[in-house]
């Protein structure tokens, strides 16, 4: 978005407020302030008497009081470790993780039961309820982000005197922070048009039309791809503010929220290389930058019953030519000194993977990169070997299940035998295999779940990391649009959850949600303890480890290994 607007002659300043907020929370000042407030609020008789809402456990308060000063004294050093070669040290890395995680745990006590973690945020209220959400964003005592935004960030945004402020809200966990920014900018009297966009708001486009109160904070919402709408929005604002001709836009007119017609996105090949100018790449908690890139829109399979790809809009599949993708990878390397690229595509097609690998191999494999793929028949040992030689160090796969009847019910379009072959051949080639899987797809039985567990243990030497969970019935997925086709007897939609993107449900047969949760937790309980836990905090760290271990000729650790 930034690169496109800059190319159109718009002056653009971009800020990563996630980074700025967490960087402040991980400061000696913030940790000491939090410890003093924890003592005043939870460890004194007067504080306890006047406290409202749920209270943290007394043991957590005692821990904060006994460890707070030490955490505050070392948190800056811990950040420095994560931003340097010391990250790799077998003792310094885990020590730094403990300090960073502990500091956020202490700060989070002030907003209990809300919390901030290294790569997660939990709100102390329902983020899928507009009533709760709007109340939370204006409550400094409960809103984890309010104070730091209000005291340390908002004034610097106002000082820039922008004409247009765009807020990205890609996930539900960003709703509180994103709307708090809008609330505080409005409270400061900033005379700018405030818009927001991102996948989460796109998923909720129909619900937002029925929620005009949100548009007291936001002047508009951009849905689907944002380049064309943002360019048109800039022009409309310059011309006097008539928004009716801006495509893909929700905006309030009186008490009504209007939606303009949707327009096709600008072809990827016509968009510029992503622009990271102005972002402090050296302040992220990572020893060297990993930059994102996209080479395609949509999913070339696009039929999985649980997946909301496309968010219910027209199915569009578009991909850059491999030559253009490689050109963009090299441009990011040249401009920003990045040696690691993270593809954010839903799944890159096997032919494009093959051709990208060949082009990068010809150039001496100058980059390490990771991508999302599918364990298809077309992903051959030859392609996997070429990928490894080209610098591909990590591939993410949606395993989901290894039970043949559940694979068929999901419309996954693969087989357990294909998944087995791709995992083994990828590992043999030197690629780190990361798999996603879950329990509880409608109709799945305990016997089916056991088939997945048996598959995982049978491939313990070929799976290097994994993310497990339970089935969620997600808005716009085929299972949500046609629940009866998947054995879902009833979808339980609650009026107070007016911004929900997932729904509880009842099934005719198989595991219910509670049982699926128990199966997942049981598997988590028996996983082996890892000697280097900082390896598993974020997937970007895994990519860096994969590259480092590969280059050193050392074996990858495995998910089911100690």
pLDDT confidence of residue 109: 96
Report, as an integer, the average pLDDT of 484-509. 96
C-alpha neighbours within 13 Å on the C-beta side of residue 11: 4
pLDDT band (50, 70, 90) for residue 406:
very high
Terminal Cα distance for the chain, rounded:
43
Report, as an integer, the average pLDDT of 201-207. 97
pLDDT tens readout for residues 507-519: 989 999 999 999 9
Cα Rg of the chain, angstroms: 24
DSSP labels for 241-272? ---TTSTTEEEEETTEEEEPPP-PPPPGGGSP
Cα distance between residue 268 and residue 4, in whole Å:
11
pLDDT tens readout for residues 173-187: 999 999 999 999 999
Spell out the SS3 assignment of 461-513: CCCCEEEEEECCEECCCHHHHCHHHHCEEEECCCCCCCCCCEECEEECCCCCH
pLDDT confidence of residue 557: 94
51 or 123: whose pLDDT is higher?
123
Residue 171 CA from chain centroid, whole number: 7
pLDDT confidence of residue 44: 85
132 or 47: whose pLDDT is higher?
132
Report, as an integer, the average pLDDT of 119-146. 94
pLDDT confidence of residue 255: 87
Spell out the SS3 assignment of 86-147: HHHCCCHHHHHHHHHHHHHHHHHHHHCCCEEECCEEECCCCCCCHHHHHHHHCCCCCCCCHH
Cα distance between residue 102 and residue 87, in whole Å:
17
- Checking if the pLDDT of 46 tops 80, the result is no
pLDDT band (50, 70, 90) for residue 433:
very high
Separation in Å, CA 232 to CA 190, 249, 376, 562: 22, 10, 40, 54
pLDDT tens readout for residues 349-384: 999 999 999 999 999 999 999 999 999 999 999 999
pLDDT confidence of residue 103: 98
pLDDT confidence of residue 59: 95
The answer to whether 398 and 413 are in contact (CB under 8 A) is no
Dihedral, CA of residue 231, residue 234, residue 236 and residue 237, to nearest 10? 170
The pTM assigned to this predicted structure is: 0.95
- Checking if the pLDDT of 54 tops 90, the result is no
The answer to whether 258 and 251 are in contact (CB under 8 A) is yes
pLDDT confidence of residue 316: 81
Report, as an integer, the average pLDDT of 337-352. 97
Cα distance between residue 97 and residue 103, in whole Å:
10
- Tokens (6 digits) for 436: 């996603």
Average pLDDT taken over every residue of the chain: 95
Sheet holding 368-373, edge to edge: 290-293, 340-343, 368-373, 392-400, 432-439, 465-470
């Amino acid at each position: 978005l930034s690169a496109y607007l800059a190319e159109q002659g718009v002056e653009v300043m971009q800020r990563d407020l996630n980074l700025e907020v967490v960087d402040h929370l991980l400061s000696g000042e913030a940790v000491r302030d939090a410890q003093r407030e924890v003592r005043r609020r939870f460890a004194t008789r007067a504080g306890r008497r006047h406290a409202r809402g749920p209270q943290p456990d007394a043991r957590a308060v005692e821990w904060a009081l006994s460890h707070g000063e030490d955490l505050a004294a070392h948190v800056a050093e811990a950040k420095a470790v994560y931003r340097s070669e010391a990250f790799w040290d077998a003792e310094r890395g885990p020590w730094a993780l403990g300090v960073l995680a502990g500091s956020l745990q202490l700060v989070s006590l002030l907003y209990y039961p809300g919390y901030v973690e290294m790569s997660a945020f939990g709100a102390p209220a329902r983020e899928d309820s507009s009533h709760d959400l709007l109340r939370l964003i204006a409550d400094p005592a409960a809103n984890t982000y309010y104070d730091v935004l209000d005291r340390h960030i908002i004034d610097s945004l106002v000082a820039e005197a922008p004409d247009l402020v765009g807020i990205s809200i890609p996930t539900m966990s960003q709703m509180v922070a994103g709307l708090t920014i809008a609330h505080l900018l409005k409270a400061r009297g900033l005379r700018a048009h405030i818009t927001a966009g991102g996948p989460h708001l796109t998923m909720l486009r129909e619900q937002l039309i029925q929620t005009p109160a949100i548009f007291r904070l936001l002047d508009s919402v951009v849905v689907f791809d944002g380049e064309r709408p943002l360019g048109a929005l800039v022009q409309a604002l310059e011309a006097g503010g008539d928004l009716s001709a801006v495509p893909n836009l929700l905006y309030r007119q009186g008490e009504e929220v209007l939606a303009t017609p949707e327009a096709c996105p600008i072809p990827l090949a016509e968009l510029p290389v992503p622009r990271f100018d102005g972002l402090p790449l050296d302040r992220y908690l990572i020893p060297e930058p990993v930059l994102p890139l996209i080479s395609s829109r949509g999913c070339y399979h696009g039929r999985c019953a649980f997946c909301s790809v496309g968010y219910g809009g027209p199915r569009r599949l578009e991909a850059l030519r491999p030559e253009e993708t490689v050109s963009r990878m090299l441009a990011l390397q040249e401009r920003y000194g990045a040696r690691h690229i993270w593809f954010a595509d839903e799944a890159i097609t096997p032919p494009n993977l093959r051709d990208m690998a060949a082009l990068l191999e010809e150039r001496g494999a100058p980059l390490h990169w990771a991508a999302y793929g599918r364990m298809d028949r077309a992903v051959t040992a030859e392609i996997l070997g070429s990928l490894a030689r080209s610098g591909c160090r990590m591939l993410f796969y949606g395993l989901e299940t290894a039970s043949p009847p559940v694979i068929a019910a999901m419309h996954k379009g693969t087989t357990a035998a294909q998944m087995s072959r791709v995992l083994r051949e990828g590992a043999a080639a030197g690629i780190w295999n990361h798999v996603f899987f879950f329990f509880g797809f409608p109709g799945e039985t305990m016997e089916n779940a056991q088939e997945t567990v048996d598959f995982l243990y049978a491939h313990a030497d070929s799976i290097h990391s994994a993310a497990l969970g339970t089935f969620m019935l997600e808005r716009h997925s085929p299972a949500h649009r046609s629940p009866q086709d998947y054995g879902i007897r009833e979808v339980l939609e609650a009026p107070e959850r007016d911004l929900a993107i997932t729904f509880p449900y009842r099934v005719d047969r198989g595991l219910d949600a509670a049982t699926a949760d128990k199966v997942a937790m049981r598997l988590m309980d028996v996983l082996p303890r890892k000697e280097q836990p900082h390896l598993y905090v974020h997937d970007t760290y895994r990519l860096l480890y994969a590259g480092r271990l590969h280059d050193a000729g050392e074996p990858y650790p495995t998910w089911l290994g100690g």
